[in-house]
Chain A
Amino acid sequence: MAHFTKATSVKDWLNQRLAIEKVEKVMMSEYWIPKNINFLWAMGMVLVITFALLVVSGIFLLMYYVPTTAEAFNSVNYTIMREVDFGWLWRHVHGVAASVVFLVIYIHMFTGIYYGSYKNGRELIWISGMLLFVAFSAEAFSGYMLPWGQMSYWAGMVITNLFSGGSLHADGFVEWIRGDYVPAQAFLGRFFMLHVLLIPLAIMGLIGLHFGALRIPHVNNQDGEEIDFDIEAKKYLDGDKAGSKVMRFANDFMSKDMMVVGIFLIFFFYLVFYNYGFAMDPVNFDPADGLKTPTHIYPEWYFLWSYEILRPFNIDLGLVLFAFAQVIFVLLPFLDRSPNSCAANRRGPLFAGWFWLMLMNMIVLTSMGKLPPEGIFSTIGLVSAILFVVMWLALPFITKMEKKV
């Protein structure tokens, strides 16, 4: 048995049993962050706050939501929105946060791509991050089923139909996923289970992995410079705070994190109270009707780019490219063959061009995915989808040609 002495204080008592001082140093006051960063480095904390908002608002929605096809719509739009004190607030916070979290995820992701934060020891941060993207996507999709509106039903119908595998006609598999021939009570029940228990657990586990993968390599910096954290930390601890290249996570970086969070929350609560239509689509305020498809069906905005890669082609090719699009981002650390791990603008015109073109192409795909597949829109969509695939196939070659910076 380890040796324990009589405690001198509550802190000492806890410290002997839980090593709280060591934990505090490793996680907070001696977790060193490079100074050469910008506010984009705060997006991780913004995501934590947004996830916390989703969990808390979700808890209060869960108290009153009824997961049956007969009651779901009214439990949300009557009980929660009209009867529960502040129920409308939790619903608006939950819906807006579910949409905004993806905006921040994309900013966070593209920050990582731009600064090369997926290379040279940081591959697992990237991979766990992409797994988090998949988990959040599944969480968003399952959550959208729950109000059981027209969009819930038809999105459920369309997305589960994807699993028939085109020409494979795996209709039995689709029915197995749904638990019924069409989205009905069995379907709603299992997606409720996924949304409320299983996927949140997976997300929390993946967040743990994501932080764990980050701890040893430390966060990146704007120049991709490899910093000797031991030397810089010593400078700081010896009193040369201004000269050191690093700062403490708590409270140095955290104070800036909180400032960014504060500004983010102004934007967030403005949306919650005054401009929430983008997050709560009007079509979903019609109760689900299996005998009537809405004139326009579309997924939530954050899925539009990959929806648009599926659409322009015949079903088999579309499904292959759709699968490609989901997986290809994960492989980025291995497709990028260049030795450079620094900001894109310093890696030469090829990679910098690739980055901005990829970003703009994803926006074009997103926009076309919302529009009816007619005329000029379907042409642009087709070109953008092909461009997306070509750019990823070209990446290994582009990066192989890069000169060392």
Chain B
Amino acid sequence: MKNKEPLILAVVVFFTLVTYYLVEPFAHHQMHKHVESEGFVYADLPALTKTGNAAAGKDLVANAGCAGCHSIKVAGMPAPMDAVTAAQSYGVNPPDLSNAGAVFDAKFLADLIKNPAHALNVEHKFDAAKGQMHPMVPFYGMGGDIDQEIADMVAYLQSIAVNKEDMTPKIAFENACGRCHAVGYEKWTQIGEKPKFKHEKDGLAFDIKVMEYQDSLTKYMGKLPPDLSMYIRSRNEHYIKTFMENPQNYLKGTAMPRVGVNAEAADKVIEYLEDSGDAKRHEREHIGKNVMIYIVIFAIFALLWKKQVWKDLH
């Protein structure tokens, strides 16, 4: 009796793989367009032509009125208003600038200071010609070479920010995404991490503040930016990165601004989202390796047992 099992196995594997291919990679390719990453180079933004002087930048930042909206905690400058009141005025809480220099791309920061709506890619929503001004006031210069002044300010922000090696996923996320997106699984709300309260009343009071902030945010954005707790699994790393690079890639006309992070900060944001939505990945990889080794040993022993039992059956 010819042994047909290799042929049968080949047929079964063939049809299984064809079905898998058609239902998964092929179908997903048909349903979702693929956007290439530009590696966070922001090709459309002008290159920096001047070398910035941090000391000069410090004076400029102090005098240009930035502190009217932005806190810079590491430099001892507090926020002029609490987050909820700020959101009522501007739609969203203006970010603290302590780590902006590390998290955001330098070209992006420079363009943002000069022309916020352009850098953030929301000119379709804030059209200066129609009198729709972005809540952030552009910098019109302090009398000298505006490009030099902006380079100085960017240099200053970079000098006070945390070192690249010390940038934690939390710092990257809070700066890049945290003022609009909550992450419930990490207890992150748009106004900060929710503390532990002894009395239920205090906890509810905090929740009310979050909701008031979210109301202002919803009015500003058109709808409430989604909670990102499980986004690393509902969208994958590639989608999130290319989305951050330019939300218009996927959702034309969206109110979500271009985030402007540099490549390192983008990786840290992904890590933060993985810690939220795929927290046990390291354990899964570790145990997966051990289980695979065990199951191969199991199969080998089963094979040896079968061979012994079947010796006298043939």
Give the B-binding residues of A (Cβ under 8 A): 35-36, 38-40, 74, 77-78, 81-82, 88-89, 92, 103, 107, 222, 241-242, 247, 251-252, 255-256, 258-259, 261-263, 265-266, 269-270, 272-274, 277-278, 280, 282-286, 295-296, 301, 304, 359, 363, 366-367, 370-372, 377
The 10 closest A-B pairs by CB, nearest first: A273-B288, A262-B299, A285-B234, A367-B22, A262-B302, A370-B27, A255-B309, A255-B306, A259-B306, A258-B302
Does the CB pair A81–B302 fall under 8 Å?
A: no
Contacts of A261 in B (CB 8 A): 302
Contacts of B313 in A (CB 8 A): 35, 241-242, 247, 252
Determine the distance from Cα of A367 to Cα of B27 in the docked complex, in whole angstroms. 8
Contacts of B296 in A (CB 8 A): 266
Interface string of B252-272 (1 = CB under 8 A from A): 000000000000000000000
Does the CB pair B314–A39 fall under 8 Å?
A: no
Stretch at the interface among B5-13, B60-68, B97-105: B5-13
Does the CB pair A39–B8 fall under 8 Å?
A: yes
Give the A-binding residues of B (Cβ under 8 A): 1, 4-5, 8-9, 12, 15-16, 18-20, 22-24, 26-27, 30-31, 184-185, 229-231, 233-236, 277, 279-280, 283-285, 287-288, 291-292, 295-296, 298-303, 305-306, 308-310, 312-314
28 CB < 8 A contacts A-B: A38-B5, A39-B8, A39-B9, A40-B12, A77-B277, A241-B312, A255-B308, A256-B310, A258-B305, A259-B299, A259-B302, A262-B298, A262-B300, A266-B292, A269-B292, A269-B295, A270-B292, A273-B285, A278-B23, A284-B234, A285-B231, A286-B234, A363-B22, A366-B22, A366-B23, A367-B22, A370-B22, A372-B31
Residue of A nearest to B314 (CB): A242
Does the CB pair B1–A36 fall under 8 Å?
A: yes
Determine the distance from Cα of A152 to Cα of B313 in the docked complex, in whole angstroms. 51
Does the CB pair A282–B234 fall under 8 Å?
A: yes
Q: Please report whether the interface of chain A is mostly helix, strand, loop or mixed according to DSSP.
A: helix
**A274 with B303: in contact, given A363-B19, A366-B19 (CB under 8 Å)?**
no
List 8 other contacts, CB 8 Å, given A259-B299, A262-B299, A286-B230.
Answer: A40-B8, A242-B313, A259-B306, A273-B287, A278-B20, A285-B277, A367-B22, A372-B31
Contacts of B302 in A (CB 8 A): 255, 258-259, 261-262
Determine the distance from Cα of A265 to Cα of B15 in the docked complex, in whole angstroms. 19
Does the CB pair A265–B27 fall under 8 Å?
A: no
Contacts of A367 in B (CB 8 A): 19, 22-23, 26-27
Residue of B nearest to A262 (CB): B299
Instruction: Return B104 CB to nearest CB of chain A, in Å.
Output: 28
Does the CB pair A285–B15 fall under 8 Å?
A: no
Determine the distance from Cα of A251 to Cα of B302 in the docked complex, in whole angstroms. 12
Contacts of A107 in B (CB 8 A): 12
Determine the distance from Cα of A285 to Cα of B226 in the docked complex, in whole angstroms. 13
Contacts of A270 in B (CB 8 A): 292
Contacts of A82 in B (CB 8 A): 185, 279-280
Instruction: Return B309 CB to nearest CB of chain A, in Å.
Output: 4
Which of B31, B309, B314 meets A251, CB within 8 Å? B309
Does the CB pair B12–A285 fall under 8 Å?
A: no
Does the CB pair A282–B27 fall under 8 Å?
A: no
Q: Please report whether the interface of chain B is mostly helix, strand, loop or mixed according to DSSP.
A: helix
Determine the distance from Cα of A79 to Cα of B237 in the docked complex, in whole angstroms. 23
Instruction: Return A66 CB to nearest CB of chain B, in Å.
Output: 16
Does the CB pair A38–B295 fall under 8 Å?
A: no
Does the CB pair B23–A370 fall under 8 Å?
A: yes
Contacts of A282 in B (CB 8 A): 233-236
Q: Which of A103, A262, A366 has the largest number of chain B CB atoms within 10 A? A: A262
Does the CB pair B298–A265 fall under 8 Å?
A: yes
Contacts of B292 in A (CB 8 A): 266, 269-270, 273
**A88 with B284: in contact, given A82-B185, A283-B234 (CB under 8 Å)?**
yes
Instruction: Return B31 CB to nearest CB of chain A, in Å.
Output: 5
Determine the distance from Cα of A74 to Cα of B183 in the docked complex, in whole angstroms. 13
Determine the distance from Cα of A283 to Cα of B231 in the docked complex, in whole angstroms. 10
Contacts of B19 in A (CB 8 A): 301, 363, 366-367
Contacts of B30 in A (CB 8 A): 371-372, 377
Contacts of A280 in B (CB 8 A): 233
Contacts of B291 in A (CB 8 A): 269, 273
Does the CB pair A363–B15 fall under 8 Å?
A: yes
Contacts of A273 in B (CB 8 A): 284-285, 287-288, 291-292
Does the CB pair A77–B23 fall under 8 Å?
A: no
Determine the distance from Cα of A103 to Cα of B309 in the docked complex, in whole angstroms. 29
**A262 with B312: in contact, given A255-B305, A255-B306 (CB under 8 Å)?**
no
Determine the distance from Cα of A261 to Cα of B298 in the docked complex, in whole angstroms. 10
Instruction: Return A46 CB to nearest CB of chain B, in Å.
Output: 12
Which of B9, B22, B233, B279 meets A285, CB within 8 Å? B233
**A278 with B27: in contact, given A247-B313, A258-B302, A285-B277 (CB under 8 Å)?**
no
Does the CB pair B280–A81 fall under 8 Å?
A: yes
Q: Which of B12, B26, B314 has the largest number of chain A CB atoms within 10 A? A: B12
Contacts of B303 in A (CB 8 A): 259, 262
Determine the distance from Cα of A394 to Cα of B246 in the docked complex, in whole angstroms. 56
Contacts of A263 in B (CB 8 A): 299
Does the CB pair A258–B8 fall under 8 Å?
A: no
Instruction: Return B287 CB to nearest CB of chain A, in Å.
Output: 7
Determine the distance from Cα of A39 to Cα of B5 in the docked complex, in whole angstroms. 7
Contacts of A370 in B (CB 8 A): 22-23, 27
Determine the distance from Cα of A270 to Cα of B5 in the docked complex, in whole angstroms. 23
Does the CB pair A89–B287 fall under 8 Å?
A: yes
Determine the distance from Cα of A242 to Cα of B314 in the docked complex, in whole angstroms. 5
Contacts of B284 in A (CB 8 A): 88-89, 92, 273
**A262 with B295: in contact, given A36-B1, A371-B31 (CB under 8 Å)?**
yes
Contacts of B234 in A (CB 8 A): 282-286
Determine the distance from Cα of A334 to Cα of B279 in the docked complex, in whole angstroms. 54
Contacts of A377 in B (CB 8 A): 30
Contacts of A366 in B (CB 8 A): 19, 22-23
Which of A258, A277, A296, A301 meets B31, CB within 8 Å? A296
Which of A39, A274, A359 meets B15, CB within 8 Å? A359
